[in-house]
Amino acid sequence: MAASLNPRSGLLYRYGYKAHIVTLLREPRDQVISNYLDVRFDRGVPDHGTSRALGFREFVLAPALCEFQTTSLHLGIAQRPVRSTEDIIDAVPQILAYLD
């Protein structure tokens, strides 16, 4: 099924509760951008104010959000999941270059 499982779409409700396992695959770079836009425009999300006060790059680098965003970007750039904290630290120059 090539459809969005965004909670607003209702597909997760229609299919997710009948399934034992749900797997979501998405381009990690698209996920980072989408997450930022979702948070920026959804007033009900806890980090909405932060996203409105910061631009994209600053939001991604905000300490509270940095780990999630960094691991997503690392996966997109390195084409492999994070195995350790060192993976993230080693990838910082590539991630900053990508954000620039």
- Each domain of the chain, given as residue ranges in start order, spans 27-99
C-alpha torsion 50→53→59→61, nearest 10: -100
pTM assigned to the model: 0.50
CA–CA dist 100, 95 (Å, integer): 9
pLDDT in tens, 51-94: 899 889 888 888 767 777 777 777 777 777 778 878 778 888 88
The answer to whether 59 and 51 have CB atoms below 8 angstroms apart is yes
User: What token pair was written down for 92?
Assistant: 């910082």
User: What token pair was written down for 68?
Assistant: 């999630």
